[in-house]
Structure 1
């Protein structure tokens, strides 16, 4: 029963933070919408920062596992990279798309020594690391730089989809990525 309340709390916090940001959404609203008492919150999370960190760790786990599973279903390097862009395109078209929780977290907690900023930066680094692993065999020493560039295209597509409402941003970013990869 207690675990259910914790899950309700984290799930509602994730939903509200994604929609409204981390600083704008207060603990009282999360508690009211989750139907959880303040005592339960503090049993699991001594501070709002701890709750935000839990939300981001869980979001990272879901996001990366889903993204990598889409890529791993493909055989070739190019198809795996394209799958990353296709996954993003599908995400952008979902009703619950509200931009990147990690970009937003880094923007709201911009000091690099903030634990929240560090979790956001780690998420982005893990994405780059994954892309580099996909590229390594085919691109060798260039893989790291290409991975960073591809991640920048993905992040730019996220921003274009979120900020200006371009649902085709991922497909357009894939066109640029193909150039980077030496494909037409």
Structure 2
């Protein structure tokens, strides 16, 4: 049996990634999902509710994939490199359209907007994960370093998306490597 809710979410996720949140209308989502408008509103009373569910699922998928990839590596240097290698592989995929969270925050820029807030939470959770990797070897410096690494990752995402630079992740890694290896 087809889970109509999940079909809606997956269709919306693909379309939002391709065309933005405000650029893609409900009618297009239901047409491509092959689902009635009443069914959409049964599960999602508003477009904002649908966007929030899309971002929630994207966050879980993104972080799980990234963390599983990184956690397979031995040693801090290899784990930090894996953060950038994972992004490098993502940037080179045909369906790469930038970061859904950066894009959402740009379209819904008011910090009190729930869509902006879920996007900010995603970035915070990424930073928290990076900090957990660094904590043992970098101690008090780990929070700042995790933030710096995330800035490099976000910059690489933007460079890959906006400039079409598929090597942005590995270029950012060169800077991150210096930051991680430098003495406290």
Q: Which residue of 2 aligns with 1:67?
A: 66
Alignment partners' CA distance in 1, 2:77 and 2:146 = 12
The separation in 2 between residues aligned to 1:178 and 1:93, in whole angstroms, is 22
Match of 1:169 in 2: 168
Q: Report the Cα distance in structure 2 between the residues aligned to 1:142 and 1:70, rounded to whole angstroms.
A: 24
CA positional deviation for 1:182: 1.8
Aligned counterpart, 2:93: 94
Partner of 1:56: 55
**Does 2:115 correspond to 1:116?**
yes
Aligned-residue Cα RMSD (Å) equals 0.8
- Residue by residue over 1:91-118, the C-alpha shift from the partner in whole angstroms, topping out at 9 and shown as x without a partner, is 0000100000000000000000000000
- Residues 1:178 and 2:184 are matched in the alignment: no
CA distance in 1, matches of 2:33, 2:43: 14
CA distance in 1, matches of 2:103, 2:6: 23
Return the alpha-carbon distance in structure 1 between the equivalents of residues 94 and 31 of structure 2. Answer: 23
2:130 alignment counterpart = 131
**Distance between the aligned counterparts of 2:69 and 2:156, measured in 1?**
18
Q: Which ranges of 4 or more aligned residues in structure 1 deviate by more than 4 Å?
A: none
Write out per-residue CA displacement over residues 42-77 of structure 1, whole angstroms, 9 at most, x where no aligned residue.
110000000000000000000000000111001101
Q: Could you say what secondary structure the match of 2:31 adopts? A: helix
* Deviation (angstroms), 1:5: 1.0
Give 5+ residue unaligned stretches, structure 1.
Answer: none
The alignment partner of 2:3 has SS state of: helix
TM-score by length of 2: 0.97
How many residue pairs match? The answer is 182
- Give 1:30 deviation, angstroms: 0.2
TM-score normalised by length of structure 1 = 0.97
